[in-house]
Amino acid sequence: MKLRIQLTVSVLGVACAVGEADPTVTVDATTAVDADVSPSADDVVEAAVATDAGSDVAVDAPVADLGSTPDAPSADVADVVDVAVDASVDAPIPGDAFGCFAPLAVCDGVCVGIDNDPQNCGSCGNVCFSDERCLAGVCRGPTGYTVATDVSALRWIDACSLPGHVTALTDTNGGTYAADLPFRFRYWGTPVPAHAVVTVTPDGYVTFQHSPPTPANGIVPNHGDGVDAVIAAQWRDLATRGAGMCIATAGNVGARTWVVEWADVHYVTSALGHLNFEVVLNETTNVVDLAYGSQTLPEPATVGLEDWAGANAVIPFGVPQPILFSGRNARFTPH
C-alpha cells in the first residue's frame, strides 16, 4: 500500500551546536514521498528542532521508512506554514484568513476595496447613492443644489389624508416635534441616517440640527441665530389650528417621499390667513421639494435651504422673503 506524506517545517532561530555564535537559520522544507506502509512498521523518526534560541521541541512520530529525502526547496518565511512546530510561535499567514491584504476586506467571501467600492464604502454593505463616489472609505456626493421653480411635474401631496400619518403640534404657536426620518437622506453633501431625528416647528421650517433654538422669525443663511441646516418653506411666526401639522411617508421602498405639511396655519399677527404648504424629501434622489397649496392672505416669509454651517443657502424665488401664492413650488436637486 502506498502513502503520500507531506511534512512542512518552519524553523526560526536555530541554535547551532557547532560553536557559531547565535546563528539565525530559516528553513521551510516540504517533502512529498511515496512509501510502502506495512501494518507492522515500527520505525521511528526522531527530530530535535530548536524553534527559538534555547527552546527545543522533540517530535516522535511513527512512520514508514522514507528512504532518502530529496533536497528541500528554499522558501520565504512569509509563506503559509502547514505545520508550526512550536505552538507559541504564530505561523505567518498573508492578509487575513481569506488571503486579503489591507485595505481590502472580505465582504461575502470576496476581497473588495472598501476605500473605493461604492457598494462597500468604508465597511461591508455600506452602499453609496447613485450620484456619489467612494473616496477614502467615505461616500461623497454633490455638496450644493440647483433650483427650479414652478415645476409642472411637482404635485401637491396631502399628507393629512395618507394612511399612517402623524398629526403633531395642534393649536400652538410654539414648541417642536421630533420627527423620525424613515430613510437615509443626504443634505448638502452630508448623509443623514435612516431614523434620524428631524426637528419640526410650527413656524414654517424644519432642521436636521438636534435640539436647536427655535426663533419664530429668521433668515437663511444665518449662523448667528443658533439654528443651522434649515429647510425653510415659509419661515414666519406662525400658529397652527386644529389640523396642526401632518407628517407621512408615501411610495415604495427606494422611491419614497417623506412629507411634512402645515395644514391651515396662520400668522400670529393675523388670524385671517389660511396657509397650506409642505416640505417633501425624496428617497434615493435626495431632492428637496417645497410646495404651496391654498394660500389665503400670504405675507413675505423666508424660503430657502441652509447648509450645515449656516454659511450658505439656496434661495428659490429671487428674494430671501417672497410672498408665496397658491400653487407655487420649488425643487432643489443636488449638484
| C-alpha distances out from residue 55 to 29, 36, 133, 292, Å | 20, 34, 53, 83
Q: Is 49 exposed, middle or buried (0-12, 13-18, 19+ CB in 10 A)?
A: middle
CA angle 188, 193, 194 (to 5 degrees): 125
Residue 37: the pLDDT is 43
232, 314 Cβ separation under 8 angstroms: no
Separation CA 29–CA 109 (nearest Å): 31
Residue 4: the pLDDT is 43
Residue 79: the pLDDT is 44
Locus of grid cell 441616517: 193
CB contact set of 239 (below 8 Å; sequence gap of 6+): 172, 173, 202, 265, 266, 267, 268, 271
Q: Give bridge partners of residue 129 from the DSSP assignment.
A: none
Q: Give bridge partners of residue 72 from the DSSP assignment.
A: none
Parallel/antiparallel/unpaired status of strands 329-334 and 288-296: antiparallel
Residue 71: the pLDDT is 52
Domain ranges of the chain: 1-92, 104-140, 145-334
Residue 140: the pLDDT is 82
Q: Give bridge partners of residue 249 from the DSSP assignment.
A: 258
Side chain identity, residue 323: I
Comparing CA positions, the residue from 134, 136, 140, 127 lying closest to residue 103 is: 136
Regions in the chain scoring below 50 on pLDDT: 1-70, 72-95
